[in-house]
Amino acid sequence: MTAIEKDIQVLVESVLGEGISVEIKKSKVGDYTSNVAFLLAPKLKKNPVHIAEEIAGKIKPAGLVEKAEAVNGHLNFYLNYSELAMVVLLESRTEGYGKQPKKRKKIILEHTSVNPSGPVHVGRIRNSIIGDSLGKILEYAGYDVEIHYFVNDIGKQIAIIAQGLAEGVEPD
């Protein structure tokens, strides 16, 4: 159960009492929704629309929930995005935030095959930075990453350079 779902559970329990199982789902109408009024209707012998309206009227928003409203028997909850942003910012500053458990998958990441016979420029450095960053992100996501950096020292260009050096041609 997420922190948001716990806050919603606490709000509903504050009205209905503890021990009421509340199913909470993401919603297209509000941010989250619950069908608790439909579950209570047979026991209370009341219309779920009236039950939802009664519950929504008694809920005092707190924490991550800004408001609750009843729509066709469903309880819809809307988040307090200012509060949520603060929680996310504080959480993101903790060590290991977002780090995933180790996965049983290995990724071999090959990147930045630099042309050793050409000039070094920002574009080539950029590719090295992107490749290395991608490797670190994948490791943080829990993958076993093996990074390979190949020097492109085979091929026609190198053969021409080697032949030129063998024949005594001096580089410019």
| CATH, residue 16 | 3.30.1360.70
In a domain, 172, yes or no: no
Supply the pTM of this predicted model: 0.61
Q: How confident is the model at residue 109 (pLDDT cuts 50, 70, 90)?
A: very high
Given a cut of 70, whether residue 152 has pLDDT beyond it is no
In a domain, 44, yes or no: yes
In a domain, 94, yes or no: no
Chain segment 46-96, per-residue pLDDT in tens? 999 999 999 999 999 888 999 999 999 999 999 999 999 998 999 899 998
In a domain, 92, yes or no: no
For residues 132 and 1, what is the distance between their CA atoms, to the nearest angstrom? 35
User: Which CA distances in Å does 5 have to 20, 34, 35, 64, 137?
Assistant: 14, 10, 14, 9, 29
The pLDDT score that the predictor gives to residue 49 is: 96
> Per the structure, how many domains does the chain have?
2
32 membership: H or E segment, kind and range: strand 32-34
Show the domain range for 43.
Answer: 3-83
Chain segment 127-139, per-residue pLDDT in tens? 889 999 999 999 9
In a domain, 98, yes or no: no
Q: Looking at the structure, do residues 125 and 76 belong to the same domain, yes or no?
A: no
In a domain, 96, yes or no: no
| Contact yes or no for 172/132 (Cβ under 8 A) | no
Domain edge (last residue) among 48, 83, 118: 83
Pairing state between β 144-151 and 32-34: unpaired
